[in-house]
Amino acid sequence: MKKQIPGWAVLLIITLVAGLALGATYSVTKDTIDQQAIVSAENARKAALPAADSFVELDLNIRSASKQGFAGPVYAELTLDESGKIATLKIGNDAFAETPGFGAKALEESFAAQFIGKAVPLTAADIDAIAGATVTTNAVVDAVNAAASAPAPQVDWCYAGYQGDTLVGYVAQITTQGFGGPIEVIAGLDTEMVITGISVGGSNFSETAGLGAKAKDAAFTDQFVGKPAPVKVIKAGGTPADNTVDAITAATITSNAVAGAVNQIADFVEAILFPEGRGDEIVLPEKPESGVVGASAKGFAGPVWVDAAFDAEGKIVYISVGNDEFNETPSIGGLAKDPEFLIQFIGKTAPLTMSDIDAISGATITSKAVVDALNAAYASSDGSAVPAETPAPAPTLPEKPAEGVFGASAQGFAGPVWVDVAFDADGKITYISVGDDQFAETPGFGLKAKDAEFLIQFIGKTAPLADADVDAIAGATITSKAVISAVNDAYDKSQGGTEEVAAPVATDVPATEAPVVTEAPAAEEAPAAPAYSASVQGFAGPVYVELTLDAEGKIASLKIGDASFAETPGFGAKALEEAFIAQFIGKAAPLTLADIDAIAGATVTSEAVINAINEACPAQEAEAAPAYSASVQGFAGPVYVELTLDAEGKIASLKIGDASFAETPGFGAKALEEAFIAQFIGKAAPLAIEDIDAIAGATVTTNAVLNAINEACGQAN
């Protein structure tokens, strides 16, 4: 009998043959697969930054910083080796302007070479300083230390995009945590920090199908294109702005995760494009030398530590969030450390409640932890406060001379601005005062025209003046220009020999018959326009408005704020500025946010002003729009709608439901929510389910609403 080949031998032969075949296949296809991956990555970069035709990868090990030198910023760019010592160092960029022969020696190789191999942080004693350039030397050391201590970049990779030889922007990828797992986000930004494209996904993308998974859809990602960074996610019904994107319905965590990743990429790119900052950053108060207390409260992922300082009245003068244990979700709770969140605390009086602040969207727990920790810090302060700074003495203005004073008036923001001024023989101003009984400029703004700090700058200047000769009062340009104009008019009077003289002093002389003086008839005063006022709750307190209307019912004058005005300095307080107020003049109520330029970062205050104006303005009688209604069978009963249409036949108002409404709570009952109703406003019937965001799990109810709307609108034809 022939010997049979054992089974294991057969299996071995098959395995060897299969392995050889697979190896041969891999060797044949490897180059093709690698090439496809390169092309795919290139296409992803191109989609995110379409203006670029070539890309150069950045070395993420390079860190940089800039510090003020003797004549300008001193830039340092370096890499560290595995032991944390300086491996490479470049000093200076296009902004470098140190003195030739002195500070400029910082650019020489021999100076930079002595830093190589040293461990940071350094002191000036660790290197040979540049003779005669101590300021520059210290700036280099400080910049090196700042660069070395900068956190490692969180982006996975970053490329600079070029069109020809011109830099057009950057594209980078970051991996963030979503609701179901890691999400890879690629974003491109141009050199003005405008988002040019994003893509969402990754091999481990596992957001919920039909909800968070929509983050990959163009309907969501296309919203980012053209928006200035950073972007902000708003839910249905939120106030849109030029940097907002709509959250995916029922997927706020995913939406915030993507937006947060885009913002982190933007932060990384901004540090490259603007190492000195863009000049519009929010600057928090510096940490005082004494009076700082700290406390911790439970956040979402761990303890949230807060350091704070308070003045004698309990007002917050300093705040910072986070320590080594801070572990809140990046781009959500992690935003508690950002100046944009923290600035709103400055100036508020502790203890606080959640209603005193704008919580971070999607991070209520973290926001509350900050408030709780702040209050705990205040409680532990035992009334200790940061010592108040001794104000600098106000400048002393020259006294009014006995003669040679000329006066003139120019129209200011709220009325005439009178100026008394005196000049020497060369036309130099030797005395100035502002204001008379008619002076009515805005407190805190135009009213500062009477302050010595503003007026002292006129002394010694030669008339006539130009606007550039004077530092205008912040937020009161109109008043400042009125002072300058009045000064120039007074100077013209001084040159024309119309010197004002004091009234003669009466003396005891024999009485004589006074000459008859025929007075010109007084001009008939026009009746004052009625003033209308109202007050509406703003962000930090009531926002009061007072206005008058012209003959056409348009706003003729407007005053914002009274003694109770307490909106946030640098944000809501801008409602008092002339530039903000001026845009309302000539407009007719009712107004909406779309009619004005809202105050950036102070939507609540802006809306309060508009609501107060609308409330103050007398109602204009208008023919009520006819209402149309219909009822259609839903899932659990009839679904009633009542609506009105605008002049174009689009839905102007909509009410859903009446006493017989019985749709399922948590499903069809969502048809009663404002967010669902709001999406119909401005749409024209007939409508289909594709025209709206249907209620998840309540298709029958959604269709009933649509059918009832279509039936009601049909009554208007």
Question: What pLDDT, in 10s, does the model give residues 387-419?
Answer: 544 455 668 889 999 999 999 999 888 889 999
The residues, ordered by sequence, that sit 6+ positions from 686 with a Cβ below 8 Å of its Cβ are 710, 713
DSSP state at residue 142: H
The answer to whether 55 and 160 are in contact (CB under 8 A) is yes
Q: Binning pLDDT at 50, 70 and 90, where does residue 281 land?
A: low
- Residue pLDDT, tens place only, 468-482: 888 888 767 788 989
The two structure tokens encoding residue 31? 């180059």
The residues, ordered by sequence, that sit 6+ positions from 381 with a Cβ below 8 Å of its Cβ are 291, 293, 310
The two structure tokens encoding residue 162? 């070029």
Q: Is 379 left (phi over 0), alpha (psi -120 to 50) or beta?
A: alpha
Identify the CA nearest to 337 among candidates 310, 356, 360: 360
Please determine, for residue 311, whether its predicted confidence score (pLDDT) is greater than 50: yes
235-244, 272-281, 514-523: least confidently modelled range: 514-523
The answer to whether 478 and 446 are in contact (CB under 8 A) is yes
Once rounded to an integer, what is the mean pLDDT over residues 553-566? Answer: 85
**Strand, coil or helix: 620:** coil
Please determine, for residue 7, whether its predicted confidence score (pLDDT) is greater than 50: yes
- Residue pLDDT, tens place only, 660-692: 888 888 888 888 987 889 888 989 888 888 888
Alpha-carbon distance of 420 to 400, in angstroms, equals 9
Order of strands across the sheet that contains 166-177: 54-57, 157-163, 166-177, 182-190, 195-201
Residue-level pLDDT at 14: 72
| Residue predicted with more confidence, 518 or 177 | 177
Residue-level pLDDT at 152: 66
Query: CA angle, corner 245, sides to 243 and 250, nearest 5?
Result: 155
The two structure tokens encoding residue 430? 């030797």
Residue-level pLDDT at 499: 35
Residue-level pLDDT at 205: 93
Contacts 24+ apart (CB under 8 A), 78-84: 78/115, 78/144, 78/147, 78/148, 80/120, 80/148, 83/119, 84/119, 84/120, 84/148
Residue-level pLDDT at 228: 93
Q: How many CB atoms lie within 10 A of CB 374?
A: 28
Once rounded to an integer, what is the mean pLDDT over residues 248-274? Answer: 88
**Omega prior to 686 cis, within 30 of 0:** yes
Q: How many CB atoms lie within 10 A of CB 133?
A: 22
Q: Binning pLDDT at 50, 70 and 90, where does residue 133 land?
A: confident
Kindly report the length of the chain.
717
Residue-level pLDDT at 213: 93
How far from the centroid of its chain's Cα atoms is residue 582's Cα? 22
Please determine, for residue 15, whether its predicted confidence score (pLDDT) is greater than 80: no
- Which run of H or E residues covers position 32? helix 7-48
Average pLDDT, the chain: 83
| Residue predicted with more confidence, 235 or 153 | 235
